[in-house]
């Protein structure tokens, strides 16, 4: 893969802004971070947060669906009297 085809992730830009040397060591020199435990914990935290966001989205969709159903039922009830 040509270097110009390389995808740059937002986290990589953040790492560069925080510490260009750390980015260079990882991206160019391919040296792993010494903070593997912290990185693993951060990945677990992000995964857990993502699960919470997906659950909140499902609950929101359910709430909107129930609201629409209640409105339709109310309209039907008023019109059927």
What residues make up the domain containing 58?
7-79
Q: What are the pLDDT digits (tens) for 12-41?
A: 899 899 999 989 998 889 998 888 999 999
pLDDT at 1 over 60: no
In a domain, 2, yes or no: no
In a domain, 31, yes or no: yes
In a domain, 33, yes or no: yes
In a domain, 16, yes or no: yes
- The rounded percent of the chain whose pLDDT value lies above 90 is 70
Instruction: Count CA atoms within 13 Å of residue 59 on its CB side.
Output: 6
pLDDT at 2 over 70: no
Between 22-26, 47-51, 65-69, 71-75, the lowest mean confidence (pLDDT) is in: 22-26
The domain total for the chain is 1
Q: What's the average model confidence in pLDDT over 49-64?
A: 98
In a domain, 59, yes or no: yes
pLDDT at 4 over 80: no
């Amino acid at each position: 893969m040509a270097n110009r085809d390389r995808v740059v992730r937002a986290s990589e830009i953040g790492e560069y802004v925080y510490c260009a040397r750390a980015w260079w060591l990882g991206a160019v020199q391919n040296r792993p971070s010494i903070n593997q435990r912290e990185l693993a914990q951060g990945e677990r935290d992000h995964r857990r947060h993502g699960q919470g966001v997906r659950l909140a989205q499902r609950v929101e969709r359910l709430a909107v669906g129930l609201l629409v159903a209640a409105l339709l039922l109310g309209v039907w009830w008023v019109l059927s009297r």
